[in-house]
Amino acid sequence: MSFNILMFGVGGQGTVLSSDIVCEVALESGYDAKKSEIHGMAQRGGSVVSHVRIAKKVYSPVISFGEADIMVSFEYMEFLRYMEYVNSETLLVLNTNKIFPPGVLSGKEEYPEKIIKQKLKLFKDVSQIDALKIAQESGNIKVAGMAVVGALAKMLPFEKDVWKKIIESKVPPKTIESNIRAFETGFRA
Amino acid sequence: MRKVLSGNEAIARGAYEAGVKVVSSYPGTPSSEITDFVKRYDDIYCEWAVNEKVALEVAIGASLAGRRSMTCMKHVGLNVAADPLMTLSYTGVNGGLVILVADDPNMFSSQNEQDSRNYARFAKVPLLEPSDSNEAKEFVKKAFEISEKFCTPVIVRSVTRLSHSMSAVDLGERVETASKGLENNIPKWVMVPANGRVRHVFVEERLKELQAFNSKSDLVAEEINSNEIGIITSGIPYQYVKEALPEASVLKLGMVWPLPLDKIVEFSKKVKKLYVVEELDPIIETELLAQGVKLKKLKRPLTGELSVDAVKKLFGLKVNRCKAAVKELPNRPPNMCPGCSHRGMFYAISKLKLFAAGDIGCYTLGLLPPLSAINSTVCMGASISMAHGIDRASGGEYAKKSVAVIGDSTFFHTGINGLLNSVYNKGCSTVIILDNRITGMTGHQPNPGTGITIKGEESPRINFELLCRAFGIKNVVTVDPFDVDECIRVLKEETSKDELSVIITNRPCIFADRTVITNPYFIDEDKCTGCTACTRLGCPAIAWDKKKKIAMIDESLCTGCGLCPKVCRFDAISQRGAK
């Protein structure tokens, strides 16, 4: 069993923390795991991408083109940037929350609604969630990322208790409860 | 115990386990986190130095005093530290000394793509190149052993893909090393020509010994599979090779300089076709060809990163690539944050159409539209000296239409020298120190203007205004960067003078000091005329509503900096909760 999971979003959405969690859960569950991320100027509204690879033995920390088993898009349009990694079996976890890029904000570019609808058809399965809504319901708007992790966890063969244990060790103590709640809701979604 | 660590965290752990006593560094992506991880270990004295030259010299002092020391920097930082490095190679060390340098192939956050392996060759010192987090930790420890055994500084090279990737690491215990005591050995440590000549001979001999050592050491690993193809590789490219060509035989180099020639020749005899797979410069390849090793050259670009797919392509193997790629998507370029204290000053610079010699830091992003306020960026500290050059080249004429912009940390790094030079040489340029009290770009490390050390302890806070006055500069003005009218007035006044001027801004970075965040602003739809004055600030919190043809503020992003109401002529922007 092996998984190539490509996770991406916009700076501040928790993409990096989420991919750390996936990586640690895999290792805790007895697999080899590697992760590579590009977050250079993430805090400043740029794109963030993390490659997570899980197998008995992993070499390259980066996923090859056409070899993503699961793509996790923390923002509604971002998956379009990574279509080169998709194959006919790729699953997509899609947060429907939109963050408008500067070109859209300034009115010079269109948010690509049509292309999104069209490209979604290329995935074997798409699991859409409204992470912001889930986060609001769990009482902390900042835990939206964990709802996405929950939706991803459902697709992976790791024990739920391991997920919870790792999440608890990685998030600020005060936010453990709301993070776990968001994870659970994402898992059920 | 096994733990998943980033390459950078593993490097810090390696230093800890090796009994390192002193770490002095200057932050630079992708190396910055290493020293931030080191600060968690109470057994290690660590500090942020003002620049990489100083950091290395501190490490040299610690080594001279008999303790293991390390300095961490990015590739361009090694240029700054190159001066002490070249002579350190001659003096050698007392306590082990490791220079950790993190390269950035593909330039995810750098101004050039240089290959630091050239420095090992240039300085005639050994360079180790780990290929995952566990090796990163182990190689740092080995580097200290080699440093002490051969009396040499050792460079350990990381790259973005190692520093910012995570993999499993076996944690070990710290081994305390006793101090070797302060070494008082003048022929070794005083590099006057007579001593230097002797030491150069030592350096050349050492290189030969290191080469022999490398061939016999466990740093080079031979993996014999098929005898058809043999690949010599190292570092992160090793991982790509293993995945792209699982059938090939591989000679994995842990120390890439000096090369283990004997071992390579031995390996070359075991395979029909021999190749080198390396990233950026063809250093190993060129050296082996020069030594007469029979290699097949690959048609490899000298730019950018390798990958499994890139290696497959080099060997004519098929690469999967979904054809459904989407071109021309709206980009997400990095932007100055909402509430960034630089925005107002850049708006003023842009409004006055001044030519701005820029520098390295968050504020380089001022080059992006709509502000488009930066006209040059070369290296740390270059803004001030370049503005002086611009001024002197035109006999003072261009100085009236140009400014230098530099951040506080960059000013301390190497800007301060440039300013001293401008004063001394009677320049009349205008220098703007964008003081936000922190090193922003690399993750908010404190600096001499912050008033705290890396450990959060209070320290003297350098006063820019007094410092500039002590230099003898008469025109020193501090402005509030959110007061656009005042910024414009001061800029006009200072650029018109036939004397050197320094303008200092005084608002903290929104990420370093969250206490400055206040109630958000909102736009009164009835009053907004759609003039776009506010959207031209390039604030990520201000959006243009295409249908209504008015601006709107995303209140979840707005930090309440109060800049946009100052550019609105229609009084359409007000603050929540204000009367």
Residue B112 has a CB neighbour count (10 Å cut-off) of 11
Q: Which residues of chain B are within 8 Å of residue A45 when distances are taken between CB atoms?
A: 332-335, 337, 540
Peptide bond into A157 cis (omega under 30): no
Residue B329 to residue A77, Cβ atoms within 8 A: yes
Which of 98-157 (B) contact A at CB < 8 A? 108-109, 132
Among B163, B164, B81, smallest CA distance to B125 is for B81
Residues of chain B with pLDDT under 70: 579
For residue A28, the tally of other CB atoms under 10 A from its CB is 17
Cβ–Cβ of A103/B330 closer than 8 Å? yes
Whether residues B334 and A40 touch (CB distance < 8 A) is answered with: yes
Q: What pLDDT was estimated at residue B340? A: 95
Q: How confident is the model at residue A40, as a pLDDT?
A: 56
Q: Is B546 an 8 Å CB contact of chain A? A: yes
How many Å separate Cα B327 from the centre of its chain? 31
CA nearest neighbour of B44 among B31, B35, B32: B35
Do A107 and B546 count as a contact with CB atoms less than 8 A apart?
A: yes
pLDDT at A189: 83
Nearest by Cα to A37 from A72, A83, A87: A72
pLDDT at B322: 79
* Entry pTM: 0.95
Q: What is the pLDDT of residue A134?
A: 94
In chain A, residues with a C-beta closer than 8 Å to the C-beta of B545 are 107
CB contact under 8 A, A45 and B332: yes
Q: What are the chain A neighbours of B362 within 8 Å (beta carbons)? A: 44
Cβ of B165 and A10 within 8 Å? no
Burial B473-493 (b: 16+ CB within 10 A, else e): bebbbebebbbbebbbebbee
In this prediction, residue B195 carries a pLDDT of: 98
Check residue B325 and give its pLDDT: 84
Residues 6 or more apart whose Cβ sits within 8 Å of residue A108: none
What's the pLDDT at A41? 61
Minimum Cα–Cα distance from A106: chain B residue: B544
CB contact under 8 Å between A35 and B165, yes or no, is yes
Query: CB-CB: which of A47, A61, A106 is closest to B544?
Result: A106
Residues forming beta bridges with residue B128, ordered by sequence position: B156, B255
Chain B residues in contact with A33 by the CB 8 A cut-off are: 4, 166-168
d(CA B10, CA B131): 12
Mutation target to probe the B interface, by most B beta carbons within 10 A, among A64, A71, A140 is A64
Q: Does the beta-carbon distance from A44 to B166 stay under 8 Å?
A: no
Which pLDDT score, from 0 to 100, does residue A124 have?
A: 96
**Do A122 and B132 lie within an 8 Å CB cutoff?**
no
pLDDT value, residue B556: 83
Residue of A nearest to B243 (CA): A59
The answer to whether B251 and B145 have CB atoms below 8 angstroms apart is no
Query: Which has the closest alpha carbon to B270: B212, B218, B226?
Result: B226
Angle subtended at Cα B333 by Cα A82 and Cα A66, rounded to the nearest 5 degrees: 10
Contact B348, B369 (CB under 8 A): no
Q: At what angle do helices B52-64 and B82-91 cross, to 10 degrees?
A: 20
Report CB contact under 8 Å: A103, B320.
no
Question: What pLDDT is recorded for position A135?
Answer: 92
Question: What per-residue confidence (pLDDT) applies to B308?
Answer: 96
pLDDT under 70 in chain A at which residues? 40-44
